[in-house]
Structures are given as C-alpha cells and as structure tokens.
Amino acid sequence: MNQWKNFSKGFIKENPVFVLLLGMCPTLGVTSSAINGLGMGLATTFVLVMSNIVVSLIKKQIPDKVRIPSFIVIIATFVTIVELVMEAYIPSLFKSLGLFIPLIVVNCIVLGRAEAFASKNNLVSSIVDGFGIGFGFSFALVLLGGIRELLGSGKLFSITIYPENYVTLLFVLAPGAFIVLGYLIAIINRLKKD
Amino acid sequence: MAGRDSNFRNMVITLFLVTFVAAAALGLVYEFTKEPIKLAKLKAQSEAIEKVLPSFEQLGETYKVAAENGKDTIEIFPAFRGNELVGCAVKTFTNNGYGGFISIMAGIDNSGNFSGYEVLEHAETPGLGSKMNEWFKSEEKNGQSVIGKNPESTSFEVSKDGGDIDAITASTITSRAFLDAMRRAYKAYEEQDDLNTGSAGQ
C-alpha cells in the first residue's frame, strides 16, 4: 500500500472519531477545551505508534489464542509510561486530563489498530498507520474541543476571543459534546459523498 | 496471522515474557520519574503557599491534623519572617464538590482572617464550578469574597442557606463545598493554635 495513502486515511476516510466512531469516551469527555483535546490526542498517538511498533515486531512470536492479552499488556505498559512521564514533566496537563489517561488502555482505537493492522503488516506500514490514525484522532479532538471552547467559554487555546457574557455554557457541558460531535459527523459524511 | 502454535507451553512462555518485559520497563520508568514527580508536586504546593500568604522567609515544621472522617489529613504550614509568625497555610479538602473531592490551600494571617486561597485539585464543571478559584477572591459583588474574613465573624454559608457569602452563579453545590473546605481549614487552624499556646504556657 502507498504509504501516503496509509498515513492520510486517518484524517477523513478512516477518521477514528468521525467515521469509525471509536474511542467515544475520551472524545466526549476531555474535549471541553482545544488544549485538552490536543494533549489527549498526542498521548494517544504516542501509545498507538509505540504499540503498533512492538506488535508488528513480535507478531510472529505470539500464539493466536493469547494475542489479545499480550496486546493489552503492551498497550497498558505504554499508557502507564505516558502517565508517569506526563505527571513528572507536564503536571498541569496531567491534572486536566486526569482519569482519561489510564482510559487510553481501553480505547478501542489502540487495540483496534494493533489487532486489525499492526498484527498483519510490516514495521514501516505499522508506524505510518499509527501516526496517521493518531494524528487523525488528535485532529478530531482539537476540532471538537476548539468548537466547544469557542462556543462555550469564548476562548480558543485559552485566548479570549469574545466576552464571556455572550457564551452558550451548554457547549462545555456534556450535552454540548454530543451536539457538536453530531453536527461534525454529519458534515464529514456530506463531504465524503462528493 | 502466522503466529506460533497455540499450545499450552507456547502460551505460558509468551505471556510470561510479555508481562516480564512490561514490568521491567515500567519499573525503570517509575524509578526515572519518581524524583521529578515528587519535585513537581512539592513545587506546586510551595507555589500555592506563596500565593495565599503575605510575604514570608521560611516555612516552619508542618503539622498534620487528622480530619473528622479519620481518613484524610489536613496539613498546616506555619510561615515565618525572621522569628515572627506571619501566618499559616492550611491544606484543606472537601468531598462534597459537584465532582467529589476538592483540595484547597488556604492562607490564614496573624489576625485569624483568610489572606488568600488556591484550589489545588478539583473536578468541578468547567465554566461553572471551576470558577471558584477566582470567584471567592473577587470584590465585584459585596458578599462574594472570603478574603479578609473568618468563619467566626462571618457566617461561612452560602446566602441561600442563610449565610453571608454569595454563591457562584449556577454553582451552589460547588460553593457549599468550597465553604465547607474553608471552615474545615479554619477549625484545624484554631485547634492547632490552642495546642500551641497551651504547650507554650506550660
């Protein structure tokens, strides 16, 4: 497969959030601001790339029946590494993402790529796939977080765009996540048709 | 997928090796990040203490007071300029927040009034309860600030419950929890104060 296609499919064609509808829990939970979305997206990207690398390297050694437990252990290891490193060096981001970091372990995107892609493809393709899907996920989270932050608190990346008196608070709350996501999926579907 | 044969021996060996390597990697990373994590936490704490108290030179010995639920502790950090006590920072908490646990660093000056506070940890709703780090410092409306007040002369209840402090608009639960934490801080401070003067008198 063409590596560029392999990379770019994560943005629109196979975007994990807008098209595959995977990883909805962190998507809806952390996107109350653009910066949270970006942090979550990049953390997930790191885990995706690393687990794809390891899984594609050892895929031949793993007996079929224990492949899922092995993949989960590998993914959980990288998630814990991300968590520890983030707590040590970026404590502010760690504080705002909190509970959602350990939840990357059960994010279907990561296991999904390990199972559906990395365990069947070679190392280079797996790395490219990890970056593609990871950046696609980050892109979706930043878009969602940005729109919600802008509508709900009048800011973008914590920079005030318009005064707080005119905001619709609903958008930073849980219902806002569903509403914005719904509209974004509708728009993406429309774009994909053309 | 052309994996190895799924017989018992292969499965046990594979799982053992995978978990063994994972555990070793985690142990290594843990050792590496242990110190930075501790430093980051201490730094956040000392920055909060500096923010809530009048300027001081050094911190005295930390006191720990057991909270009434017997599980959590309230920490008191006395601050000195030279030999003179300028105030105490009290690390207090409440479990009644809209998102549960809230941890606050409250500063109490020599006259027994709150000189400041910083919210250290919370899980309140963004845009509503999360405003508490600014709201109770602001003088915008008469009754909303807690700075320069103390629970003895002012009733630390939200005005809806008959107290003297105005709650954050649309976040009464968070406001109640915040005041609960501040009352707890003051109580711990008072008890500690009694103990100190008691031992000094003997």
Per CB distance under 8 Å, which residues of A are interface residues toward B?
Answer: 32-33, 59-67, 69-70, 73-74, 76-77, 80-81, 84-85, 87-89, 91, 95, 98, 119-120, 152-153, 167, 169, 172-173
Beta-strand runs (E) in chain B:
58-59, 63-66, 73-81, 84-97, 100-109, 114-121
State the maximum Cα–Cα separation within chain A, in Å, rounded to a whole number: 60
CB contact under 8 A, B22 and A73: yes
CB contact under 8 A, B40 and A73: no
Which residues, 6+ apart, have CB-to-CB distance to A92 below 8 Å? Answer: none
- SS3 assignment, position B125: coil
Nearest C-alpha neighbor of A45 from the set A124, A130, A141: A130
B144 close to B135: Cβ distance less than 8 angstroms: yes
pLDDT band at B134 (very low <50, low <70, confident <90, very high): confident
Which residues, 6+ apart, have CB-to-CB distance to A15 below 8 Å? Answer: A136, A137, A139, A140, A188
Q: B123: which chain A residues are within 8 Å (Cβ-Cβ)?
A: 98
Walk along chain A (194 residues) and give the pLDDT tens digit of each residue: 578 888 888 887 888 888 888 888 888 888 888 888 888 899 999 999 999 999 999 888 888 888 889 999 999 999 999 999 988 888 888 877 777 788 888 888 888 888 888 888 889 999 999 999 999 999 999 999 999 988 888 888 878 888 877 778 788 888 889 999 999 999 988 888 77
Which residues, 6+ apart, have CB-to-CB distance to B194 below 8 Å? Answer: none
Give the ipTM of the model, two decimals please: 0.76
* Structure-derived torsion over alpha carbons of residues A15, A17, A22, A25, reported in degrees to the nearest 10: 160
DSSP secondary structure code for residue B81 in this structure? E
Per CB distance under 8 Å, which residues of B are interface residues toward A?
Answer: 1-7, 10-11, 14-15, 18-19, 22, 25-26, 29-30, 33, 36-37, 40-41, 44, 121, 123, 125-128
Q: What pTM does this model have?
A: 0.76
B64 close to B90: Cβ distance less than 8 angstroms: no
Distance CA A52, CA B193 (A): 58
The predicted structure's pLDDT at residue B3: 62
